[in-house]
Chain A
Amino acid sequence: MPDSSADTATRGGRRSRSVPGASPTDRAEEALKASLVQAASNAARVASAGNAAGTAGGGAGGIDSEIAALSHDALSAPAAHIDTGVKPRLGIGFWLAVAWMALVVFAAIFANVLPLPSPNKVLAGPPNQGPSWQHLFGTDLIGHDLFSQVVNGARISMLIGSTSVVVGLVVGGGMGIIAGFYRGFVDVIVVWITDVLLTLPGLILALTLVAFLGQSLENVILAIDLLSIPAYARIARATSLAISQRDFVLTALALGSKPRRILFRDVLPLVAIPIASYAAIGASIAILAEGALAFLGLSSPNSLSWGGMIAEGQQQLSTAPQVTFAPMIAFFVTIMALNYIGQRAGAALDPRQGRL
């Protein structure tokens, strides 16, 4: 007897895959999927509104509310495409942004293999030079090669960006999906945790943790990962909540599928779309937060960071402006690229444009 429910579950699961050549069924399934993605995106819009609520204080400095702005744009996007029914393309800007990010990741990984002078080498060239072929970004007052410093500074940014995405997707996304799917007590707890994490503006939370736990690379990563969790959790929860109330979940339950199986097979793939499209923006917020910490002199003391370089350059703005501008340009383009990728990806995943 206990086997029968499992049996039904397998049959139920298998049936949808193994009906051969049943084109009406396929079409129905297509339609169902499309409507689900639609629901998911609606939910994500709700989440982004909620985020505007919560996360307006979430990131660092004025950038925190960015999620709100960008996901607002991405998800409530220009309706112009609806009439034409044209599947929107990502556009050349998107691929330029991806290319820039690939370049930055490459620089971060191979920084110490590249044929560049060491970033800490004094008098790598004549001091206080503007850009030249030998020193692409020039040198500072004691002859550090600024190009080499910027390339090495990419390391911590990429490290912070990637760990925050992984932690955000796994921990935040996981918390959110479970909360939205099971609801009840778990939901209350998860919402409360995100509330607590959002009580302090993101930068202040990171500052506090680093201040009390000590200034080290591990603690900076810990602090920034922690502050990136609630945004993912909220988006995942809202989407999962909407999907879990759909008829096909009910059908699967009625067929005897175990909740856990439904969670992984039916809900997870659909929640993955909106939270993955948020990842680029999440990474940019994490990188900005590290930049702000480094600017305040509170990031990892032993690593070169763009924010720290910008702070150092401030003393020399009148004598050697290139010291500030070199890391600034790298930082600016990187954040722009990530935001643009996030925005385009969000818009492209919006079915009202995509006409699935």
Chain B
Amino acid sequence: MASYVGWRFVRMVSVVFAVTLFTFLLLNLLPGSPINAILGPAAGDPAARAELTSQLGLNHPLFFRYFIWLGHAVRGNLGQSYISQESVSSAIGARLPLTLELMVMAEVISLGLAIPTAMLCSLRPNGWFDKFVSRSTLALLALPAFMLGELLIFVFSVKYHVFPASGETTWFTIGGGTSPAVVATPQSILLPSITLAAGQLALFARVLRGDLLATLKSEFILMARSKGFSRYYVLLHHALRPSSFSLMSLVGLSVGGLLAGAVVVENVFALPGMGTLLVTSIEKRDYLIVQGIVVLIATGFVTVNFITDALYGALDPRIRRARLIG
């Protein structure tokens, strides 16, 4: 177990290392000077140029600069945007809570719907409900967030004014200072969360249904049934737990999908989260913010994966042994 987790850890660190190096190189090997790229419209200002040159240490060799940058990044200093004059870390920090709020809501919605749906389907495989769910999950998988989001806006905001439309979204800020954290009201985050949840929901329901069907064929289920427990009782108390391992690891892994999805969903609903910050920064060529967000997403995603993987092994001894051997 320890060596399994240790090996995963080494892999995780090396991969994060490679990604940071990759984004650093992308920024520094841009055609033209990185100074032009980073400063953007402010490139004409000699004072800014001089300051950035010394800050980036451009007179040093590339790899030396990378380690300096990495040293700062580890301590939470991702540089300062030359366009908004804002510290990159605090700019991201202000937008992150909303994105996290969105992701947590989406995860809760998708799990809350997927588990009962999959259980109902497995009660009568190939019955009408199962077929209906199977078709609609296939359809949901073909509805990316930007399409589903617009459909929901059209139905709930334009046709029937149940929810605020994009642009009228309401949020409030927490904390003071130059960049207070932004949090959305529950009402304005419901539609975005449903949009984000849809893809995950379809995936979770399909995977759990498959695993439940497999478990229901095992002998201990037959045993429980022959003891006189009802189908519903057996499903809930005997079959669900051993069937939920793939689902559990998927939940951890879905964080990546949620992160990417949040970028799209925030833009559909004009929510001021990290995703909109990323896209507007790309448009404004605010490269340091883009770099900061990318590094944060990569690190976060890999860390979550690592934790799920380790937990997964810890919870299911069969997996642990199989992976060590294999």
* Residue of B whose beta carbon sits closest to that of A66: B141
- Asked if A96 lies at the interface with its beta carbon under 8 angstroms from chain B, I say no
The number of chain B residues touching the other chain, given as a range, is 35 or more
Roughly how many angstroms separate A200 CA and B166 CA in the complex, as a whole number? Answer: 28
The reply to whether A332 and B257 form a contact with Cβ atoms under 8 Å apart is no
B residues in contact with A207, CB < 8 Å: 263, 278-279, 282
The reply to whether A199 and B15 form a contact with Cβ atoms under 8 Å apart is yes
Roughly how many angstroms separate A309 CA and B150 CA in the complex, as a whole number? Answer: 12
The reply to whether A295 and B143 form a contact with Cβ atoms under 8 Å apart is no
Q: Which residues of A contact B (CB under 8 A)?
A: 49, 52-53, 56-66, 68-70, 72-73, 76, 78, 80, 192, 195-196, 199-204, 207-213, 284, 288, 291-292, 295-298, 307, 310-311, 313-314, 317-318, 321, 324, 328, 331-332, 335-336, 339-340, 343
- Asked if B27 lies at the interface with its beta carbon under 8 angstroms from chain A, I say yes
20 additional contacts (CB under 8 A) given A52-B249, A296-B279, A331-B147: A63-B257, A66-B199, A69-B207, A76-B210, A195-B15, A199-B18, A200-B298, A201-B297, A203-B263, A204-B259, A204-B260, A212-B30, A288-B144, A295-B264, A310-B150, A321-B154, A328-B150, A335-B142, A335-B144, A340-B138
A residues in contact with B171, CB < 8 Å: none
- Residues 142-179 of chain B, each 1 if its beta carbon lies under 8 Å from chain A, else 0: 11111100110110001000000010000000000000
- Asked if B123 lies at the interface with its beta carbon under 8 angstroms from chain A, I say no
The reply to whether B210 and A72 form a contact with Cβ atoms under 8 Å apart is yes
- Asked if B11 lies at the interface with its beta carbon under 8 angstroms from chain A, I say yes
B residues in contact with A298, CB < 8 Å: 279, 282
Shortest 7 CB-CB contacts between residues of A and residues of B? A57-B256, A62-B199, A56-B253, A201-B260, A335-B142, A203-B260, A61-B261
Roughly how many angstroms separate A69 CA and B290 CA in the complex, as a whole number? Answer: 31
B residues in contact with A317, CB < 8 Å: 150, 153-154, 158
A residues in contact with B151, CB < 8 Å: 328
The reply to whether A339 and B150 form a contact with Cβ atoms under 8 Å apart is no
The reply to whether B147 and A310 form a contact with Cβ atoms under 8 Å apart is yes
A residues in contact with B257, CB < 8 Å: 56-57, 59, 61-65, 201
The reply to whether A200 and B11 form a contact with Cβ atoms under 8 Å apart is no
How many whole Å from B154's CB to the nearest CB in chain A? Answer: 5
